[in-house]
Amino acid sequence: MKDFHGIIFAYSAAPELRELVTHRTAASMPIFGRYRVIDFSLSSLMNAGIHDVGVIMQRDYQSLMDHIRNGKSWDMSRKDGGVRLLPPFGMPGYHSGNYFGTMEALNGVGDYIRDIPQKYVVLLLGNMCANLDLNAAGEQHIRSGAPITAICSTHTPPTAQHRYVVGEDGFVKTARFYREGDEEGYTSMEGYIIDKELLVRMMDECAAKNLYRFHRDAISSYLAAGGKMDVYLHEGYYMPIRSVDLYYRANRDMLDSDKRHDLFAPERPIRTRHHSLVSTYYGENAVSSNSLVGDNCRILGTVENSILSSEVVVEEGAHLKDCVIMRRTVIGKGAQLDCVIADKDCVIAPDTALKGNERLPLVIPKSSHI
């Protein structure tokens, strides 16, 4: 797909993720014990042969830069092109501060967008978990003749979403924004394939009118003027990572083998930055059931229905149930954790009892000592 260029939006902190994004963006959140959320968008582009990719950032992006580095893990370390990390080149003249919307983020790196040599641009969110077949989506975009193809899901996530209603001709006839639950139409994954010429025109029009938002402003105006938009349907696993609840649900989903095999389809591998670590050690009395455990952990207690990242220590007598534990966290002897999300480098004292619930998991901030 030499005529395609990728853009990933990784500037959003998603405040509903609370303590988990104090020092990082949603795209750089650790997930599934081994990955970062942005790995799914990067890998989807890589698997389609799209190696020229810009990642739009704004603040709190040190973690993201440390993870992506030169893009080698996704075959995007190139002399010409490759992955480019894009902090704001300069905020648009009509605003300063945080990005108010996607159009403002695009205008914030407007010079980069205008210099893209490819004909088509693939826009993806950095905070969604899905393994997209962008080869099929790109072929459909060219075949349809529509200047925009919206990437949509056949599933409805448990959060507000945009929806597109398709007419008899197969093109979008109505857009419905911020809807809850199942309604008419398809769930927008907020991913698009768009002709670069149209994208630049949308950016210029929004900048001239002091408009910030991609859907409410640019897409609404385009459809109202009779613009043609196609829909590509993704039938596989999809979960946007916008809140603690959705993050917890996504991790727990990967304990279901069918959902795990769907997301990690062998024909479209998900890559991440590689850490060379030794295997996990399980003590004589250790118990691990229905759990995903990373490398170089030390498990002496009980781990049940949980996801553990690398270098986690679970001491003797400790019991983890329905937990998500990030790197280098230590769970002391006899500690009892139920429905807990522990960020990196936490220390839980011996015999401590912490309990959340599936609807409201307890979150322990990074480097906490409890």
Q: What letter does residue 314 receive in the DSSP assignment? A: E
The DSSP string of 16-60 is GGGGGGSSS-GGG-EETTTEETTHHHHHHHHHTT---EEEE--SS
Structural domain including 286 reads 281-364
Other beta carbons within 10 angstroms of residue 15's beta carbon come to 10
Amino acid present at 301: G
Cα Dmax for the chain: 69
What does the alpha-carbon distance between residue 72 and residue 97 come to, in Å, rounded to a whole number?
Answer: 32
For residues 72-86, average pLDDT: 90
The answer as to whether 244 is a domain residue is: yes
Of 207, 232, 263, which residue is a domain's last?
263
Find the CATH number of the domain harbouring 287.
2.160.10.10
More confident residue, 7 or 81: 7
- Do 311 and 189 belong together in one domain? no
Kindly report, residue by residue over 263-275, the tens digit of the pLDDT: 999 999 999 998 7
For residues 272-283, average pLDDT: 89
Number of domain units in the chain: 2
- Do 26 and 117 belong together in one domain? yes
With a cut of 90, say whether residue 23 has pLDDT above it.
Answer: no
Identify the burial level of 368 via C-beta atoms within 10 angstroms of its C-beta, where 0-12 means exposed, 13-18 middle and 19 or more buried. Answer: middle
Could you give the percent of the chain with pLDDT greater than 90? 84
- Which residues, in sequence order, are CB contacts of 266 under 8 Å at separation 6+? none
- Do 79 and 208 belong together in one domain? yes
Kindly report, residue by residue over 317-366, the tens digit of the pLDDT: 999 999 999 999 999 999 999 999 999 999 999 999 999 999 899 999 99
Find the CATH number of the domain harbouring 34.
3.90.550.10
With a cut of 90, say whether residue 12 has pLDDT above it.
Answer: no
- Do 217 and 303 belong together in one domain? no
Per-residue confidence (pLDDT) for residue 258, from 0 to 100: 96
- Do 241 and 340 belong together in one domain? no
- Do 92 and 237 belong together in one domain? yes
What does the alpha-carbon distance between residue 248 and residue 111 come to, in Å, rounded to a whole number?
Answer: 38
For residues 175-184, average pLDDT: 87
- Do 235 and 287 belong together in one domain? no
Handedness of CA 148, 150, 151, 154 (dihedral sign): negative
- Do 78 and 178 belong together in one domain? yes
Per-residue confidence (pLDDT) for residue 197, from 0 to 100: 97
Per-residue confidence (pLDDT) for residue 98, from 0 to 100: 66
The answer as to whether 180 is a domain residue is: yes
- Do 287 and 340 belong together in one domain? yes
- Do 221 and 342 belong together in one domain? no
**Mean pLDDT computed over every residue of the chain:** 93
Q: Tokens 């170089």 appear where?
A: 296
- Do 243 and 156 belong together in one domain? yes
What does the alpha-carbon distance between residue 146 and residue 168 come to, in Å, rounded to a whole number?
Answer: 15
For residues 240-246, average pLDDT: 96
Of 229, 263, 297, which residue is a domain's last?
263
With a cut of 50, say whether residue 94 has pLDDT above it.
Answer: no
Could you give the percent of the chain with pLDDT greater than 70? 97
Per-residue confidence (pLDDT) for residue 198, from 0 to 100: 97
- For residue 301, what are the CA distances in angstroms to 165, 277, 278, 280, 325? 51, 21, 19, 13, 14
Kindly report, residue by residue over 116-138, the tens digit of the pLDDT: 999 999 999 999 999 999 999 99
Picking from 222, 177, 244, 208, the residue whose alpha carbon sits closest to that of residue 17 is 244
For residues 95-103, average pLDDT: 70
Q: What letter does residue 359 receive in the DSSP assignment? A: S
Picking from 99, 21, 34, the residue whose alpha carbon sits closest to that of residue 324 is 34
- Do 164 and 235 belong together in one domain? yes
For residues 189-197, average pLDDT: 97
Per-residue confidence (pLDDT) for residue 15, from 0 to 100: 83
With a cut of 70, say whether residue 92 has pLDDT above it.
Answer: no
Q: In which band, very low, low, confident or very high, does the pLDDT at 95 lie, cut at 50, 70 and 90?
A: very low
Q: What is the dihedral of CA 11, 222, 45, 169, to 10 degrees?
A: 150
Per-residue confidence (pLDDT) for residue 90, from 0 to 100: 54
